[in-house]
Amino acid sequence: MLQADVVVLGGGPGGYVAALRAAHLGARVALIEEKAVGGVCLNVGCIPTKALLRSAGVYRAFRRAETFGLRLEGRLTPDWPAIQGRKEAIVRQLVGGVETLLRKAGVQVLRGRGRFIAPHRLEVSTATGVEPVEAGKGVIIATGSRPIQLPLPGMELPGVLDSTGALMLEELPPRLLIIGGGVIGVEFADLFSAFGVQVTVVEMLDRLLPLMDADLGPALAWTLGQRGVQVYVGSRVTRLDAAESGLRATVVTPTGETIIEADRVLVAVGRRPNVEELGLERAGVRCDRPGIPVDSRMQTNVPGIYAVGDVTGGPQLAHVAMRGGEVAAENILGHTAHLHLKTVPWCVYTDPEVASVGLSEAQAREQGYQVRVGRFPLNANGRALTWGETDGFVKVVSEARFGELLGLHLIAPHAGELIHEGGLALALEATIEELIATLHGHPTLGEAVREAALAVRGEALHLPR
């Protein structure tokens, strides 16, 4: 039987980071992974989608070259196989990097499927048989999630894809219907529309990005619409049928039923935690419908068993899983650590990007705050004008009594980089006055954050009063 101090079940962002942190703290670590290390995020999620989105962004920029005084001689065309090849090369490089980190840290990687047979004992089904593993100090469950499949007629038809299938397409479809207007749906809409695919998005709720601040989704929908993406909100697909030219979707909209034809249909309605066939009942680990409940230390109901990332049913974000992995490893090994969700950034890598941290305006009001809001449009920001990217705005949500920052929301180029100023301000319980007093370089997009803070009190300098 293999003996380890810490056993990690799953090698995605939460799992491999937990293994590295535990090893750095001096523990003997075994990591069980059925497929490739890096999990969904690195292999069929965050990284490959961002690689493809970067190709889309470069292509879109070259197509606008003349607006910058540049003349492109000859025809510019996307080479989809080459774009896919670049994506795969990036994934291979990063997977290899994670494998190297684990090896140099002394983590023993077991290739196979693991399941509990007792609270601190697991068995791993490998290509050569079944190997028992015992954890002397604790186990970290990091088995991630998988795409949700809708229980609708026609979902089994050829041409219906999940996000993994969309990433593996060998050629661009002429028409793509995306069911779901959340983060995954809008990123794929932006990606494929950039390369000339006729994209339609159907979202059941009343706006795109329904979990983010209410001003963000409509703004993104407007930009996507300007690029030819057709967006239906407050609508739902009721069935799919085969058609001569591909697939036919029946969609119920606020104005009645309509038919949408497409060559491919991408289902992007969320993900479900992977909790099945883990032997959780043998370990006594409680599992609710959304996932495995944990406290801020990532502890389950069983001492010495922790869970991190998507499997917990919490925010399905790689950076939350990574921090959770660090927290779990530290607590198993006698340290004290907690995962605080107050400063979790949410980032959407469309063009322009969308990002949020803290409370939305609606959430702040629901929690009883007297709310003050400041907005600043990018078309009044010098750097955005020089870049030729003026779609978007910065929105600051604060409470009225002390001026404490409650939330920061952006739709802007590089919003995913800009959002961390808001996260730090929330962690420090900073006020609007402190944001204003912080010097921001000129010309930068970051100046728009300060202007939005000034706008909270009606004093934005670069807006007409």
Give yes or no for residue 94 having a pLDDT over 90: yes
- From residue 442, alpha-carbon distances to 28, 126, 383, 396, 456 in Å are 50, 57, 8, 20, 21
Residue 226 has pLDDT above 90, yes or no: yes
Is there a catalytic annotation at residue 442?
A: yes
**Does 130 score more than 90 pLDDT?**
yes
The per-residue pLDDT for 254 is 97
Q: What is the mean pLDDT of residues 191-204?
A: 98
Residue 280 is predicted with a pLDDT of 98
pLDDT band at 245 (very low <50, low <70, confident <90, very high): confident
Contact 201, 249 (CB under 8 A): no
Averaged pLDDT of the chain: 97
* Domains identified in the chain and CATH numbers: 2-146+272-341 (3.50.50.60), 160-269 (3.50.50.60), 352-456 (3.30.390.30)
Percent of the chain with pLDDT over 90: 97
Q: If pLDDT is split at 50, 70 and 90, which confidence band does 341 have?
A: very high
Task: Give the global pTM.
Answer: 0.96
Residue 305 pLDDT > 90: yes
Task: Tell me: pLDDT of 171 over 90.
Answer: yes
282 pLDDT higher than 90: yes
Catalytic residue among 335, 420, 442, 462: 442
pLDDT digits (tens, 9 = 90+) for 256-277: 999 999 999 999 999 999 999 9
Residue 73 clears pLDDT 90, i.e. is over it: no
> Cβ-count burial of 308 within 10 angstroms (0-12 exposed, 13-18 middle, 19+ buried)?
buried
- Mean pLDDT over residues 156-172, rounded? 97
Tell me what percent of the residues of the chain surpass a pLDDT of 70: 100
pLDDT one-digit tens code per residue, 396-419: 999 999 999 999 999 999 999 999
> Is residue 465 scored above 90 in pLDDT?
no
* pLDDT classification of 74: cutoffs 50, 70, 90: confident
Q: What is the mean pLDDT of residues 332-357?
A: 97
Q: How large is the average pLDDT for residues 84-93?
A: 98
